[in-house]
Amino acid sequence: MPEKMVTIFGASTVLWTLFAASQAFKLQISPEYRMIAQIGDSVSLTCTTTDCESPSFSWRTQIDSPLNAKVRTEGTKSILTMDPVSFENEHSYLCTATCGSAKLERGIQVEIYSFPKDPEIQLSGPLEVGKPVMVKCLAPDVYPADRLEMELVKDDHVLKTQEFLEEIKKSVVTKSLEMSFTPTTEDIGKALVCQARLYIESVPKEREMVKELQVYTSPKNTVISVHPSKRLQEGDAVTMTCSSEGLPAPEILWSKKLDNGNEQLLSGNATLTLIAMRMEDSGIYVCEGVNLVGRHKTEVELIVQEKPFTVDIFPGSHVAAQVGDSVVLTCAVVDCDSPSFSWRTQIDSPLSGEVRSEGTISTLTLSPVSFENEHSYLCTVTCVRRKLEKEIRVEVYSFPEDPEIEMSGPLVHGRPVTVTCSVPNVYPFDHLEIELLKGQTTLMNKYFLEEMSIKSPETKSLEMTFIPTTEDTGEVLVCLAKLHSGQMESEPKQRRSTQTLFVSVAPQETTIWVSPSPILEEGSPVNLTCSSDGFPAPQILWSRQLNNGELQPLSEDTVLTIMSTKLEDSGIYVCEGINQAGISKKSVELTVQVSSKDIQLTAFPSESVKEGDTVIISCTCKNVSETWIILKKKAKTGDMVLKSVDGAYTILKAQLQDAGVYECESKTGVGSQLRSLTLDVKGRENNRDYFSPELLALYCASSLIIPAIGMIIYFARKANMKGSYSLVEAQKSKV
Ligand SMILES: *[C@@H]1O[C@H](CO)[C@@H](O)[C@H](O)[C@H]1NC(C)=O
Ligand SMILES: *[C@@H]1O[C@H](CO)[C@@H](O)[C@H](O)[C@H]1NC(C)=O
Ligand SMILES: *[C@@H]1O[C@H](CO)[C@@H](O)[C@H](O)[C@H]1NC(C)=O
């Protein structure tokens, strides 16, 4: 093709040269024959004459179209300037110079072209390995397009060549070469070259564009790692790191899915750290790896749970508080930094206590505990927006003392006794149980029923009557008071008192031994020994019964010894066996007699007299007060009591029958003694005196007046009927 063009221009030049050569003066045109001008440039054609002083010039185109250029003539030169060069300038321009009559003409062919810019390489998209892409090489504003050749070269290897053989239009066009290209990883770093050549001269104008190949890979293997966990608690922090493979290295975008389906962009940093999370932060988090050629996303769901702050109340859900004690209720919060506390009672009555809150602990001190504190107390904890309430029931009780065991009297075998077990100052009564046990055996128990009464402690008791026996001794009587509580504790409060039973046996069979005898001679010793059965062993108490009936205590020994008895010691002696169960009495009469040596029975002048003599039989008792003297004569028919004066009986004229045994019986209040003598009467002559026995009674103590005869008879009869021991026996039977 370039050869053809040269031929055409060559023929035209030859024609004009021949025409001009016939003139004397000469006309030159520059450039010669042909000019190639680029559209938009400024070019000039210059006509110059020689050998003519004042030539005239004229310019025209061969087809007489407008010049589309400016002419400037100066002397022998005429310059045609095309500024800018346009399609209208694609003509054969003729420069005519006239010098006088001579006329010369020169022609020049102006050819135009347009090839102003380097080609462009356009890719239909980023280069992704394995993905075909349209590569377009553009040569913009080219004219004449039929002389254009384009080539796409990669790595010194021509991929495609294209010529544009088309009809010529007078306009600049953009021509392009297109091809599909599938990049491989080997293409990374290579260059794609687009070359455009415009063949308008022998040496074609050439322009090229080099494009470095940017081969990309779409993000893939987008992975999220979550630390520490996808399940979190309020306030926690979480760090999520996302990675994605791709070329170029994908940019990481973190976002969170919103409820409406949109995503909210959070960060462009691969590491996303969320601190102080709240429940609303739960949701789906999306990590997207993005680069020029693609995007790849992965999701992770985070669950933020409510932080379970907890409230504990101590000592528990119930507390039993004794009236007067001090009780501290403690409300403690875990997992809340700055809780706020409030205390109230369920019925909104006054707290009757002191609240102290510090940090995560609040205490309510009830001191001293009173009945006003019998409530359910509520501790309300507010932590940020949440509230928790814990309840503790304060159950007030009073149970300050051990029970008391009381017996209606001493424990005596066989004697009914009432045991009272009382629990003082107890509350509440409806929770009270009193149990009475003997050893392990329950004798009785009693539950106290609820009483709708004022809140105040009272004394409650159980009463029981039983008949103790000696076998009960040593057994333990237990009074057990249990204060149950509905909910307080599983075990009831207990208080107990015990009493070891000691069953006594009342004294009985009190016995007295008298050694040697209850009838004694004055001056002799006597031992009175007493014994009494009973349990515990009865205490012995010897007393002497006074005339007025009162007892005069003598000794607590079992043996009452009188070393030397006196007449005054005669009397009733009482022995008492005493223990806590009772008294058993026994008495004995002690008779102290005048010593036999103190009574003398004498016959005067002699115990042997003659008939007719006067004999005085006299009975004397020295220094024995209140002694009856009875003078008797023993006879076969019975004793004859003789009438005596001051203990003396006078036989004026002794008869034979006066002989015999005479007895003197001395009687004191406590006994009698006998003395006797035998009177011997010797016969003399036959004169007899009348004898009439007489009752004689006299006092030894002359100072006393002789009492009435009846008294004497009384004593005499008593002495005769019952013998020496009669009084003692009488006393014994009385006991
Ligand atoms: C991403 O986070 C890391 C660590 O938190 C930090 O060092 C880095 O500067 C951050 N980069 C950007 C772009 O914010
Ligand atoms: C009285 O008891 C004492 C001591 O037991 C004894 O020595 C004495 O002989 C007793 N006397 C009589 C009269 O039994
Ligand atoms: C008689 O008893 C009294 C005191 O009781 C005494 O002083 C007096 O000596 C006694 N007389 C005789 C004779 O024993």
Is pLDDT larger for residue 434 or for residue 731? 434
Question: What atom in ligand 2 is closest to the CA of residue 526?
Answer: 13
Of 178-192, 657-671, 691-705, the one with minimum mean pLDDT is 691-705
Q: Indicate whether 152 and 233 sit together in one domain.
A: no
Give the percent of the chain with pLDDT over 70. Answer: 86
Mean pLDDT of 697-708: 34
Give the residue, by CA position, lying nearest to ligand 1 atom 10: 269
**Site to substitute for ligand 2 among 527, 559, 560, 562, most atoms within 8 A of C-beta:** 527
Kindly report, residue by residue over 609-641, the tens digit of the pLDDT.
Answer: 888 888 988 887 765 555 677 788 888 888 888
Ligand in nearest proximity to the CA of 254: 1
Q: Indicate whether 601 and 589 sit together in one domain.
A: no
Find out whether 318 and 487 touch, Cβ atoms under 8 Å: yes
Q: Which of 453, 484, 500 is the last residue of a domain?
A: 500
Residue 20: inside a domain, yes or no?
A: no
Q: Cis ω on the peptide bond leading into residue 518 (within 30° of 0)?
A: no
Kindly report, residue by residue over 495-546, the tens digit of the pLDDT.
Answer: 999 999 989 899 989 999 998 888 888 888 999 999 999 988 999 999 999 9
Q: Indicate whether 408 and 389 sit together in one domain.
A: no
Residue appearing with tokens 């508080």: 321
Neighbours of 118 (CB within 10 A): 17
Nearest alpha carbon to residue 104 among 127, 78, 130, 122: 78
Residue 576: inside a domain, yes or no?
A: yes
Is pLDDT larger for residue 21 or for residue 525? 525
Structural domain count, the chain: 8
Q: What is the pLDDT of residue 12?
A: 45
**Site to substitute for ligand 3 among 592, 623, 626, 700, most atoms within 8 A of C-beta:** 623
Residue 40: inside a domain, yes or no?
A: yes
Q: Which of 166, 197, 213 is the last residue of a domain?
A: 213
Is pLDDT larger for residue 430 or for residue 564? 564
Q: What is the pLDDT of residue 723?
A: 36
Mean pLDDT of 115-121: 93
Q: Does residue 256 surpass a pLDDT of 80?
A: yes
Q: How far is the CA of 269 from the centre of ligand 1 (A)?
A: 6
Q: Does residue 479 surpass a pLDDT of 70?
A: yes
Residue 90: inside a domain, yes or no?
A: yes
Ligand 2 site residues (CB inside 6 A) read: 515-516, 525, 527, 561
Residue 127: inside a domain, yes or no?
A: yes
Q: For residues 174 and 193, give the distance between their C-alpha atoms in angstroms, rounded to a whole number.
A: 18
Ligand in nearest proximity to the CA of 524: 2
pLDDT band at 21 (very low <50, low <70, confident <90, very high): very low
Kindly report, residue by residue over 332-358, the tens digit of the pLDDT.
Answer: 998 888 899 999 998 888 888 899 999
Q: What is the pLDDT of residue 556?
A: 93
Give the percent of the chain with pLDDT over 90. Answer: 39
Q: Does residue 367 surpass a pLDDT of 70?
A: yes
**Site to substitute for ligand 1 among 239, 253, 269, most atoms within 8 A of C-beta:** 269
Q: Which of 75, 91, 113 is the last residue of a domain?
A: 113
Indicate which CATH number applies to the domain containing 54. Answer: 2.60.40.10
Q: Does residue 548 surpass a pLDDT of 70?
A: yes
Q: Does residue 468 surpass a pLDDT of 80?
A: yes
Q: Indicate whether 612 and 671 sit together in one domain.
A: yes
Neighbours of 267 (CB within 10 A): 16
Q: What is the pLDDT of residue 452?
A: 65
In the predicted model, what is the mean pLDDT of the chain? 83
Q: How far is the CA of 216 from the centre of ligand 1 (A)?
A: 25
Q: 192-214 b/e with 16+ CB inside 10 Å = b?
A: bbbbbbbbbeeeebebbbebebb
Mean pLDDT of 108-130: 89
Of 14-23, 153-162, 394-403, the one with minimum mean pLDDT is 14-23
Find out whether 304 and 381 touch, Cβ atoms under 8 Å: no
Kindly report, residue by residue over 24-78, the tens digit of the pLDDT.
Answer: 788 888 888 888 999 999 999 999 988 888 888 999 988 888 888 999 998 889 9
Q: Indicate whether 199 and 140 sit together in one domain.
A: yes
Q: Does residue 405 surpass a pLDDT of 90?
A: yes
Is pLDDT larger for residue 691 or for residue 645? 645
Mean pLDDT of 605-609: 87
Q: In the numeric block, which tokens belong to residue 343?
A: 């205390």
Kindly report, residue by residue over 565-574, the tens digit of the pLDDT.
Answer: 888 888 999 9
Q: How far is the CA of 543 from the centre of ligand 3 (A)?
A: 28
Ligand in nearest proximity to the CA of 242: 1
Q: Indicate whether 513 and 551 sit together in one domain.
A: yes
Residue 16: inside a domain, yes or no?
A: no
Mean pLDDT of 417-445: 89
Q: Indicate whether 512 and 577 sit together in one domain.
A: yes
Q: Indicate whether 342 and 363 sit together in one domain.
A: yes
pLDDT band at 449 (very low <50, low <70, confident <90, very high): confident
Q: Indicate whether 199 and 222 sit together in one domain.
A: no
Q: Indicate whether 516 and 535 sit together in one domain.
A: yes
Q: Indicate whether 91 and 124 sit together in one domain.
A: no
Give the residue, by CA position, lying nearest to ligand 3 atom 8: 623
Ligand in nearest proximity to the CA of 621: 3
Residue 296: inside a domain, yes or no?
A: yes
Q: How far is the CA of 606 from the centre of ligand 3 (A)?
A: 28
Q: How far is the CA of 270 from the centre of ligand 1 (A)?
A: 8
Q: What is the pLDDT of residue 596?
A: 61
Q: How far is the CA of 271 from the centre of ligand 1 (A)?
A: 7
3-state secondary structure of 31: coil
Ligand 3 site residues (CB inside 6 A) read: 622-623
Q: How far is the CA of 244 from the centre of ligand 1 (A)?
A: 17
Residue 314: inside a domain, yes or no?
A: yes
The parent domain of residue 49 ranges over: 25-113
Q: How far is the CA of 215 from the centre of ligand 1 (A)?
A: 28
Q: For residues 402 and 482, give the distance between their C-alpha atoms in angstroms, rounded to a whole number.
A: 11
Contact residues for 710 (Cβ-Cβ < 8 A; gap 6+): none
Q: Does residue 270 surpass a pLDDT of 80?
A: yes
Q: For residues 38 and 116, give the distance between their C-alpha atoms in angstroms, rounded to a whole number.
A: 8
**Strand boundaries in 202-326, DSSP class E:** 205-212, 215-227, 231-233, 238-247, 251-257, 263-267, 271-274, 283-291, 294-305, 310-314, 318-322
Kindly report, residue by residue over 138-194, the tens digit of the pLDDT.
Answer: 999 998 888 899 999 998 899 999 998 876 778 888 999 999 999 888 888 889 999
pLDDT band at 1 (very low <50, low <70, confident <90, very high): very low
pLDDT band at 486 (very low <50, low <70, confident <90, very high): low
Ligand 1 site residues (CB inside 6 A) read: 269, 271
Find out whether 644 and 696 touch, Cβ atoms under 8 Å: yes
Q: Does residue 360 surpass a pLDDT of 50?
A: yes
Q: Indicate whether 589 and 600 sit together in one domain.
A: no
Ligand in nearest proximity to the CA of 565: 2
Give the residue, by CA position, lying nearest to ligand 3 atom 4: 623
